[in-house]
Structure 1
């Protein structure tokens, strides 16, 4: 059984590392899942490494080659309120690294962003939008 498909490649951002279109990956892996198909021959015919096709096949079976784009993150409104003096909880001891007034600190994985000074909604929006890129 022989299957022919156009190899659809869009230029990658790294030299020598093409980015294959999702539809091409899906069609190739579906063909690789058919009975009696040699994945190595199929990969060779489409100038793709056989190990890559095996990985794409695993991804297909795990549902990772789906069309659905990830849902956009939803930001929730944040309201800051000052706690009354002496209202500190006994269960939560005071931290030495508390954030002083007029500063934003955002920690994502190993990255930390601190913004000091006049922190307002416009500045916070700019900071969060720059983190998306």
Structure 2
């Protein structure tokens, strides 16, 4: 009995395969943002009450990218948070004076900032009071 014929090297064909999937996929361009454009966009995000994600959408940047720019700029000292932002300001206390005079026991509050006085009752909304204090401090 004879065994099956042995294969020779000439009978084998070497197939060279090259992945061309990357060549045929759509090219995604990486946008390069000039430093001035980044600075301008980041300044918008630092304004009080601004939604960073909304600013990102308005400029066609992903929110994650904008937060990364912001974090990098804050760490490097290129930008600083505004003083009325809670993240930027260390906890501080105002002096409080309790006076018993007219209207004592009415449940009101009088806040003196410089030469301005804010008088509020006990039914004022905290957000309204915060807005009023910020306005007086900014003036």
Structure with the higher fraction of residues in helix conformation? 2
Give me the TM-score of the superposition, normalised by structure 2: 0.34
Please identify the structure whose Cα radius of gyration is greater.
Answer: 2
Structure with the higher fraction of residues in strand conformation? 1
